[in-house]
Chains A and B, each alone.
Chain A
């Protein structure tokens, strides 16, 4: 039973560039949430995707966008990268039934993004 997988593991970009991170949810899960974890801090919620639509969004600018595919996998896109975007980006998957979670969120290993 595959858990949550993310790619790539590490990424180095320069300011102003764009980046795409990928996530495959745990088998049987249909909902993907993305979190940003700066060094030494707890994760901060970016947004959540369900049924290929953004269901909820945290306090992040429009430079952060996402997508969910019919197979439930998801992408996180960040445009016009800033130094402050350097962080560990975590993907978490869960299962929603009639809008309510029937399972806890399981996290992937994360993608470490460094912006120079």
Chain B
């Protein structure tokens, strides 16, 4: 049983469209990270959110941490083929603690 549930598992969209990936849990996390992983490579950190209700923007990517620090979302505006990859959310229950990952959302942006 995944402690962190990501949805959808797979998303295929056309270039220029918007997309949202969700990460939900019944547990509270002290922080939550979003990673993107390319085939054959390790996850690369996109953002860390630590405060309930926090919103962070990274160019066309917007990350939100739920008020109760149990859920998060990643929104991509005007997706580009370079956004294609596996998006992973990971929660940390205490600073320096192990990361608990969601199952990942595979995003395919077609030109």
Contacts and interface: CB of A to CB of B under 8 A. Distances in A.
Contacts of A90: 42-43
Nearest to B96: A101
B78 interface: no
A42 B41 contact: no
A108 interface: yes
Given A41-B104, A42-B103, A106 B45 contact: yes
Given A4-B42, A107-B43, A108-B42, A42 B88 contact: yes
Nearest to A6: B42
Contacts of B111: none
A110 B99 contact: no
Say which size band chain B's interface belongs to: 20 to 34
Range class of the A interface residue count: 20 to 34
Contacts of A41: 103-104
Given A31-B96, A42-B4, 14 more contacts: A33-B99, A43-B43, A43-B90, A43-B99, A43-B101, A44-B101, A45-B100, A56-B97, A99-B96, A107-B45, A109-B40, A109-B41, A110-B41, A110-B42
Interface of A: 4, 31, 33, 35, 40-45, 48, 56, 58, 90, 92, 94, 96, 99-101, 104-110, 112
